[in-house]
Amino acid sequence: MGKHKLENTLNELKATGKPLFIPYMMAGDGGINQINERIQFLEECGASAIELGIPFSDPVADGPVIQDAGLRALQEGTTLKLVLDEVRKQKESRNIPIILMTYINPIWNYGYEQFAKHCDTAGVDGIIIPDIPMEEEEDIAAALSNQSIAFIRLAAMTSPDERLEKIAQDSEGFLYAVSVNGTTGERQQHDKNTLDYLKKLTALSSVPVLAGFGISNPEQAKSLAAYCDGVIVGSKIVHLFAEGKQTEIKELIGETVR
């Protein structure tokens, strides 16, 4: 067994032979009181885990759909502390792993140890921080490790092989394979280079590999999942929530994990 609950859960699901599916939702988009309701809905749709985005004023990795959702959430008064307080309310009744996606600034502001403790109290299982390079991650990595919270690393196609190898070995919970060069957002297709890169990461990694960025329909999700362990879908889910199209979210997840 891995040392993280997230990794164990994903490995158990992976053993069924179906692709893993992690939807991303922006915390506070539609109001703080929607967070637990949407988490429960995504769990019922068959999600493997849920990535919960923390709104931030300068989201460097995010495309326009997620940026807009972040602005709406900030206008609703969403903060990292409010999100953790809200998620904590359903800790005992929730079975699905929760992953926070946040930039380093709000965590630094919170205090690394305090942040990690509050995540643990709220039942958060993993953290993704897109803007911290591995050369600068030591302090936050130690704080998360003290609470046994998985620190999920991101791998980029532009990284040299030896760097990818180190990231793949260090990642906890799963390895987030960024499957495009650029920001988040729906793409029409992924090329052969992407598929080769996913195969390479899967060979290097001891934890499940999930492809994220640019996935907008079940066909794309399935074609990428054939080369790794599953997918993360963000912009499409955020867009469908904003449009009130929950039925389409259910179909997207259901058709992928079938």
Return the active site residues.
Answer: 51, 62
* HEC-encoded secondary structure of the chain: CCCCHHHHHHHHHHCCCCCEEEEEEECCCCCHHHHHHHHHHHHHCCCCCEEEECCCCCCCCCCHHHHHHHHHHHHCCCCHHHHHHHHHHCCCCCCCCEEEECCHHHHHHHCHHHHHHHHHHHCCCEEECCCCCHHHCHHHHHHHHHCCCEEECEECCCCCHHHHHHHHHHCCCCEEEECCCCCCCCCCCCCHHHHHHHHHHHHHCCCCEEEECCCCCHHHHHHHHCCCCEEEECHHHHHHHHCCCHHHHHHHHHHHHC
> Does residue 195 contact residue 217 with C-beta atoms inside 8 Å?
no
> Does residue 99 contact residue 22 with C-beta atoms inside 8 Å?
yes
